[in-house]
Chains A and B, each alone.
Chain A
């Protein structure tokens, strides 16, 4: 239903996001300090690479993809097509986020490191799920660009919320998973010698 060029653009970006995830993940694994603890949260959730750079980038791409449709919205509304287009855009941005996480986790599966070595697998899984859910919710919020005004403000808001979650909430929760992620503990035990 979407025109071919729009679709093709979309698929290029989807593949691009996936490859970017793979490369960033492979790089994180290859440059991983051998002294450090091999734990999936220690590779992806604790460092800032995924939350700060990759997710911000994906939110910008998703926002731009929605923005493509805002100019033509009156003609879509006139034909009662808002729900239909809204649903398609939602699928598109959710797939963008899914492509990123697939790209991130596939290399970890390939190297075969065990997932949760610093804390309980239950809490570790919950933290990963929460991390992904936050990204999916932020992607969904971006649909406001189609229904309301101020697209750049909404993209900025999504990026800010993403960073607030990572720096202020996720970092606290990681400490509950393992003392290893406590800044004070790290200062004393990891860098004291």
Chain B
């Protein structure tokens, strides 16, 4: 379970998030929409502890493990997709090569493609970014503009994966300015002028 309580954040004098409250239960698929600059990525960074809020707090369940794709994924640019994923998974001893290969194949990426990730297309990089957020059996998954640059087939693979993960009890929060037609969200929230509306 993810719980965001009274989170506020300003940059200089600009108030970006104002008293945000959000609870996401196990198995929920939540959408946060909002125009460019509305604070979606900022909220995700605070949840992921990459950024400190001015006020409020974020708590996860004791068995929860957070996965996140936030803004443009960066990688070890000279390494292949597979070795990047392996490197990240090993940081927490969650490395399962079989699972990573399977996820890559599922997204039509060749795990044995030796080329450096810097030569990947935008959509391919994005897919690797999505995979790193789910490959370690993360229980709370934040996906910021996950379908950016991804082709129609990839979007289908992505929505299928999301539905599969939530039915196995994982919580997913997707932030995007547009809607993905095939996604069956349990809840749709809207971020506007720093306030999160139902």
Contact = CB atoms under 8 A, between A and B. Distances in A.
A12 interface: no
Contacts of A91: none
Contacts of B169: none
A5 B49 CA distance: 30
B140 to A, nearest CB: 12
B91 A9 contact: no
A4 B91 contact: no
Nearest to B82: A3
13 contacts: A1-B87, A1-B91, A3-B79, A3-B87, A6-B76, A6-B78, A9-B78, A70-B74, A71-B74, A71-B77, A78-B66, A79-B88, A81-B91
A74 B88 contact: no
Given A76-B88, A79-B88, A79-B91, 17 more contacts: A3-B83, A3-B84, A5-B78, A5-B79, A5-B83, A6-B76, A68-B76, A68-B78, A70-B74, A71-B77, A75-B73, A75-B132, A77-B49, A78-B49, A78-B66, A78-B68, A85-B91
A78 B83 contact: no
Interface of B: 48-50, 66-68, 70, 73-80, 83-84, 86-88, 90-92, 132
Nearest to A3: B83
Interface residues of A, number: 23
Residue in A3, A68, A73, A78 with the greatest tally of chain B CB atoms within 10 Å:
A78
Nearest to A82: B91
A69 interface: yes
Contact of B50 (A71, A78, A81, A84): A78
Nearest to B94: A79
A112 interface: no
A80 interface: yes
A75 B87 CA distance: 10
A75 B91 CA distance: 10
Contacts of B74: 70-75
